[in-house]
Amino acid sequence: MNFRWPNPPSLSICDLKDAGLVRSSQDGPRVGYCINFDGLRRLKALVAII
């Protein structure tokens, strides 16, 4: 049985998008990613509490 895991960078970006830390925009076949600074601020505030 051959099982292949998904591409790790793609999985990581998907996790960051789900967490609200990364945004994406698509232009035809290309996808651009950038930091979601609102999500990053929320994360920094949460970590500061801990």
pLDDT (tens digit, 9 = 90+) per residue, 9-34?
666 888 899 999 999 999 999 999 99
Number of domains in the chain: 1
The model's pTM: 0.64
Element (H, E) at 48: helix 37-49
The pLDDT value given to residue 8: 60
Domain membership of residue 24 (yes or no) is yes
The pLDDT value given to residue 14: 84
Domain membership of residue 45 (yes or no) is yes
Domain membership of residue 43 (yes or no) is yes
Domain membership of residue 2 (yes or no) is no
The pLDDT value given to residue 10: 64
What range does the domain containing 19 cover? 8-49
Report whether pLDDT(1) > 60. no
Domain membership of residue 3 (yes or no) is no
The pLDDT value given to residue 27: 92
> Helix or strand or coil: residue 36?
coil
